[in-house]
Amino acid sequence: MIKRIKLPGWIVIISLFLLLIVGVVSMMQGSSEAKEKTEDYSVYPGLNIKTKTKETDLYTFSVSQPYTEHKQINKVIDEWVDQQKTDFTSEINIMEDFLKKNEFRAHLNIQVETEKIADQIYTLEFEAYQITGGANGMTKVKPFILDLNQNKMLQLGDVLQVKEASIKEIQKLIMKELNSNKEINDYIFEELAKEAIKNPDNWKWSISRDKMGVYFDEYEIAAGAAGRIKVEIPMKKIKPYLNKDFVEKIDITFPEEKNNKEEEKHSEDMVELDPNGKYVALTFDDGPHPKVTPQILATLKKHDAKATFFMLGSQVDYYPTLANEVAEAGHEIGDHTMNHQDLTILGIDQIQAEVQQSNSVIKKAAGRTPNLLRPPYGALNDNVKQIAANMELPIIMWSVDSLDWKSRNATAVNEEVMANVAPGSIVLLHDIHPSTAEALPELLTTLEKQGYQMVTVSQLLELWEDKGVGPHYGNIK
């Protein structure tokens, strides 16, 4: 039979076979994609954020970095962030002997403010602060304007009329705003300022629904005492020079924000514990994360376990619905500051701002104000303690470090915790690493077999009748 099939017949059979294979592969891929698809928790559609932290004997760094599904947009942002890291690392190499001799840790913090201008159009304002020695650090600012509808970074010509007459009028507005600012007026070098804005291609600028911002680095147009400078021109003044197409885009009407939920006590937090019970408090830092946090919530629910989540305000700003889900599930939410800065290198007013801003963002999202504080990196000094005391926020450290941030391995995480856990331990974990979510089912099962019950940090403090500021570390083996 096979011998009777001529060449054209074989071609048809082979073609059908190949189509069958392609169809099966496509079905498998579609199935895989369906399994991997996760709910979009971001309040900025098309835009997500990741926070990366690192700690060594010489330095710490924390980077909050938005990302999209568009590789070209991500590439532009990545290149700028990577350059800040490179500059910082180079400075560390130069200052290594100084840092060791003076027992001083350098620090790099990159944070971002995000503003929605219109549907899928955002302004990202990055601020990179680094300090590698001495009394003062260095701050750099970089704005990006993203149009995800067109998959591009907006340039000045996409927003403004770049005709010579229009540019001259905008230059006058910039100088007027600089000269009217009494706080920095005495430090401004007018000739340097005029030179800095001479070429619009070199402007660092941003746009929002109510103003245009123009940025200058430290020492660029003023004495160092002025710091970095941002000029803000009200929209009513800049609107005549905007492109008509852009004006139409930003005139989109946004729905009103939903009213904040009233703050309420959750009964799960108020359960009285048996003084003779065997308890451990699992704590999760740096979230919420759109993929990892939901996995952890599902596992905790399956084991009827409660935990404490120390959230970053910058993450909650992007994922408020997820923060609310954590609260609604009966878990405790603590404050991990707004931008994961080393609080010990900040002034007391800056420390207070970091904590208060995060408190406000979390309350708006979750419906209740955090009642605990965990300083990033566990870095403490008298100023941090004073702010915590003023705000009546107990400082919560940890007695068991899972080292999940280091190993990124589920087995290693379980081994590290079980080797050190004891009744009354406070365990440090992070709900930003997939390996931590993978480790949790086995970790909870093992703890339960040894008679442990998972509770919140506040429940432990209530059990110990310890309501002071602390710091509180928990028990070790």
Residues designated as active site: 285, 430
d(CA 332, CA 460): 12
Burial degree of 265 (CB within 10 A; 0-12, 13-18, 19+): exposed
What DSSP assignment string belongs to 395-424?
Answer: BB--SEE--HHHH--HHHHHHHHHHH--TT
| Cβ neighbours around 34 below 10 Å, total | 8
φ/ψ (deg, to 5) at 259: -65, 145
Q: Which residues pair with 322 in a beta bridge?
A: none
Beta 121-131 vs 138-147: how paired, if at all?
Answer: antiparallel
How many helices (H) and strands (E) the chain has is answered by 16, 15
Could you say which DSSP state residue 377 is in? G
Q: What are the residue ranges of helices labelled H in 38-180?
A: 71-102, 156-159, 164-180
Could you say which DSSP state residue 200 is in? G
Residues 6+ apart with CB under 8 A from 149: 119, 120, 121
